[in-house]
A = this chain, B = another copy of it.
């Protein structure tokens, strides 16, 4: 690239928006030139927009410090943003706002979204870098269908990401016939508003996360589906999910029991996972991991607190790979995916990097 792309972050005051700012901080290709949010924040300096007026307390939700360059930027009203002024727009609003804003922006500009607003539209691919970037061809269909110069492409629900990444090599190599998954999800997946109250999760497990299981089931099938002509044929194996919340800050742990079309030894499964994703790793993208999947042999691994930040939170760790006796050609394992890195804005940034390198976003 000969130049840095001009980027707007929409929904910049929320948690997902803050994560976007962190993932774009010091980025070699993308420069955030505009922060947009709701009218309530518009006109304020960014640092003021996220400060509690009563106490002076900064409502900053990331472990990383707030990037210095954001502090004095004036927040603009997302509804009046002129999308044509940007090469790329990251949206991190709530889903209802996204339904209104994203199509407006996409008329002129590529939109990478962390929301679920358009995930289930037929002409909208849900990207996981390294897994289904061949679905990018669908973006042309979307542009044509909708008469847009830009496009919308959402990333999946953070609980889908690790499952789909771990299933991808199995599906490619051996064929997946079905999967039973139980998630033990982190608090940060619920955000801050309302988020999970400490009283509700201390010494506790919450056995239900509204809407989550349906998302995981549907998105996994779409992501591992096959692009045929101008549409994705969803993978037809059943995905049976039980999603729970545990008292962990960041990082989703998931147990998976998978049936395969043809028998595979534990070593073959490990090998397939270790080999997977070499293409995207080889592209050396700024936000990319060194291994799309990190296979672990210590039976006590992965452990979420210890391993969630491996490779910048962008690798999916898989351990305890062993045979399963329930499903035909069954194999089971435990996976760990960082829900606010690979499963959120940093994953979205990796998508943008890929699309730029491949020419879907103009550099």
Contact = CB atoms under 8 A, between A and B. Distances in A.
Contacts of A304: 203-205
Contacts of A242: 182, 255, 257, 320, 332, 334
Contacts of A57: 298-300
A172 interface: no
Contacts of A305: 202-204
22 contacts: A55-B298, A55-B299, A56-B298, A57-B299, A63-B306, A180-B327, A184-B205, A187-B197, A187-B199, A187-B202, A188-B199, A196-B198, A196-B199, A197-B197, A197-B198, A202-B305, A203-B203, A204-B304, A205-B303, A240-B324, A242-B334, A246-B246
With most chain B CB atoms within 10 A of its CB, the pick from A199, A257, A325 is A199
With most chain B CB atoms within 10 A of its CB, the pick from A247, A299, A300 is A300
Interface string A230-242: 0000000011101
A153 to B, nearest CB: 28
Interface of A: 54-58, 61, 63, 178-180, 182, 184, 187-188, 192, 195-208, 210, 238-240, 242, 244, 246-249, 253, 255, 257, 297-306, 319-320, 324-327, 330, 332, 334
A204 B301 CA distance: 11
Contacts of A299: 55-57, 207-208, 210
Given A182-B255, A199-B187, A326-B178, A334 B303 contact: no
